[in-house]
């Protein structure tokens, strides 16, 4: 198949807006921006006539690819402010990637409808979490032992890979439930995004390798065209988000992002009816 130039141009503005918004949120919340990229890319591929059975796989895989540089830059921005929990990241250097590969393996064999359903459920839960903000109570005064942290890391990697996100909201929730400061959770989440996106990128490329239904300029379930358009805008917006994270309240943005997630979830549920 070939892309229609007029269709590409008509979608350029929303894609660029998504790029900037995703990059800003990556710095602000320590997320990779995937919750924004996936629905935009899914709709883009649908409009461009990509085969329906691979549009969701391609959207998630491309989102993971975009998260690689975004997460790394976000991590560097927070590292400079000495807010990252490097000990936790070192302990997760195996658990999170293993969970990511498990999630990608499941996604590779799942149907487009199943992936949309999974995304809708997880987006609904995350959206509700964002609307309520920080959980007003803690489960313990510090993180659980190594076994508990490893299980948590594996689950964060797996669920994030299924959604095409960087795991920031999941990790923020996990760390704050165990009495860690929000700013440390946000900063550490940028590193979690890197642990998810790098093995996730490789796994999505392998999982979709040689699929005849993929559009031009695709490497496995990764659209190089989408990555080339979105990545620059995302990278430019990351420092602004990181700077704001260390200065201002994020409550209004949390509410806005939560509403966005719920709207996206509703859109995917509607597509399944």
* Residue corresponding to tokens 């540089």: 69
Separation in Å, CA 229 to CA 177, 201, 240? 37, 17, 20
Q: How many CA atoms lie within 13 A of 186 on its CB side?
A: 23
Mean pLDDT of the chain: 86
DSSP strand pairing (222-223 vs 218-219): antiparallel
**Can you list the positions of beta strands (E) in 38-84?**
none
pLDDT digits (tens, 9 = 90+) for 167-183: 888 998 899 889 998 88
Instruction: Round to whole Å and give the CA distance between 226 and 37.
Output: 10
* 120: CB partners within 8 A, 6+ apart: 264, 265, 266, 268, 269, 272
* 115: pLDDT strictly greater than 60: yes
| Of the listed ranges 3-7, 10-14, 135-139, 238-242, the one predicted with least confidence | 3-7
Average pLDDT over residues 144-153: 96
Q: What is the pLDDT of residue 44?
A: 83
27 touches 239 (CB < 8 A): yes
* 264: pLDDT strictly greater than 90: no
């Amino acid at each position: 198949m070939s892309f229609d130039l007029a269709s590409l141009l008509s979608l350029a503005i929303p894609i660029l807006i998504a790029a900037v918004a995703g990059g800003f949120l990556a710095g602000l919340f320590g997320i990779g921006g995937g919750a924004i990229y996936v629905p935009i890319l899914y709709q883009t591929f649908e409009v461009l006539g990509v085969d329906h059975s691979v549009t969701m796989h391609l959207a998630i895989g491309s989102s993971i690819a975009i998260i690689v540089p975004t997460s790394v830059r976000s991590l560097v921005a927070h590292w400079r402010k000495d807010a990252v929990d490097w000990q936790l990241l070192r302990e997760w250097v195996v658990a999170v990637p293993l969970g990511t590969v498990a999630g990608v393996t499941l996604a590779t064999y799942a149907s487009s409808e199943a992936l949309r359903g999974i995304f809708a459920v997880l987006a609904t839960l995350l959206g509700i979490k964002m609307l309520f903000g920080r959980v007003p109570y803690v489960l313990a005064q510090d993180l659980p032992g190594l076994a508990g942290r490893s299980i948590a890391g594996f689950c964060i990697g797996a669920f994030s890979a299924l959604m095409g996100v960087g795991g920031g909201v999941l990790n923020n929730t996990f760390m704050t439930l165990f009495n860690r400061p929000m700013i440390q959770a946000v900063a550490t989440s940028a590193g979690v995004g890197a642990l998810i996106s790098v093995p996730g990128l490789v796994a999505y490329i392998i999982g979709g390798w040689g699929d005849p239904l993929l559009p031009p300029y695709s490497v496995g379930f990764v659209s190089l065209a989408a990555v080339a358009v979105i990545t620059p805008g995302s990278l430019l917006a990351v420092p602004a988000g990181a700077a704001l994270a260390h200065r201002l309240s994020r409550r209004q943005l949390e509410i806005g992002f939560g509403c966005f997630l719920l709207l996206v979830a509703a859109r995917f549920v509607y597509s399944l009816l």
